[in-house]
Amino acid sequence: MSRATPVRRRTLADLQRMAAAGERIAMLAVSDATFAALAERGGVHALLVGDSLANTVQGRETTLPVTLEEMVYHTRCVARGSREAFLLADLPFGSFEGSPATAFAAAARLLEAGAQMVKIEGGAPWVAETVAFLTARHVPVCAHLGLTPQAVHEFGGYRVQGRAPEDAARLLAEARRLAEAGAALLVLECIPRALAARVTTEVEIVTIGIGAGAATHGQVLVAYDLLGLTPPPRPRFVRDFLAPAASAEAAVRAYVEAVAAGRFPGAAESY
């Protein structure tokens, strides 16, 4: 009798190899063990414990009130419910702004809870300094540019970013700065697809899009959005994969297949 192949969790190197080979990465934002297991059965490559759980789970208007303790709790839940997917978690608002040392302490909590990488929003010089501090201390970092929800009050709402030439130039410069600081992944949220394509082509970093067109190395959606559970009005980049599917697992699998084939997002779901 042959032994079953042991299950192992995907690594950052696995995602980087996928991107280099032109294989698109399907990521899903989840916050509990049940959704984590569902995502894995559907073939998702990576799971994000996002602070968007403030909206989907806690019923809050913004992500700002989420605490580090809550992120640690939900990261533990997702880690228990998954065995194979790469796992990253958001550093919530207030957990990394004080100093790089503060950010490291918060990141350590998330890694202890089961995350393999932390995500940090923004591209200012001090954010890049924090990224460099973390990566020098063996904490893998995913950066996040474009519409960064933790800056919603600064933006004056959830609006597409990078449309003006000067804003696009700034975002591209920030992406380069973050990559040079050691960030290995970069989430690009709600930016023009042409700009996302340019970042993906010109900056040596794995890009994950959400409302950023199909030219990135991968896509991420919130599980509630993918299943059509989010109350309207829904963002333009959201597609309900459950409506035409026979089950929630089939919906997740359809999402993974659509990402792999470059069919999601489509032109109507991009800016």
- Tell whether 160 is covered by a domain: yes
Number of domains in the chain: 1
Cα separation, 104 vs 9, in Å, equals 23
pLDDT score, position 4? 58
| Average pLDDT for 238-253 | 97
| pTM, full prediction | 0.96
pLDDT surpassing 80 at residue 75? yes
pLDDT score, position 71? 98
Going by DSSP bridges, is the β-strand pair 206-210/86-90 parallel, antiparallel, or unpaired?
unpaired
**Average model confidence (pLDDT) for the chain?**
96
Domain that residue 74 falls in: 12-262
- Tell whether 269 is covered by a domain: no
pLDDT digits (tens, 9 = 90+) for 33-56: 999 999 999 999 999 999 999 999
Query: Would you state the structure tokens that stand for residue 109, as one six-digit string?
Result: 């909590």
pLDDT score, position 162? 97
Residue whose entry in the numeric block shows the structure tokens 């419910």: 81
Helix, coil or strand: residue 262: coil
- Tell whether 251 is covered by a domain: yes
Q: Which CATH number covers residue 85?
A: 3.20.20.60
pLDDT surpassing 80 at residue 60? yes
- Tell whether 85 is covered by a domain: yes
pLDDT surpassing 90 at residue 6? no
Q: Which of 121, 154, 189, 202 is catalytic?
A: 189
pLDDT surpassing 90 at residue 1? no
166 given a catalytic annotation: no
- Tell whether 157 is covered by a domain: yes
- Tell whether 94 is covered by a domain: yes
Query: Where is 182: in which H helix or E strand?
Result: none
Query: Would you state the structure tokens that stand for residue 162, as one six-digit string?
Result: 């990078």
- Tell whether 120 is covered by a domain: yes
- Tell whether 49 is covered by a domain: yes
Q: How many CB atoms lie within 10 A of CB 269?
A: 16
Name the phi and psi angles at 167, rounded to 5.
-70, -40
Beta-carbon contacts of residue 224 (< 8 Å; ≥ 6 apart): 56, 230
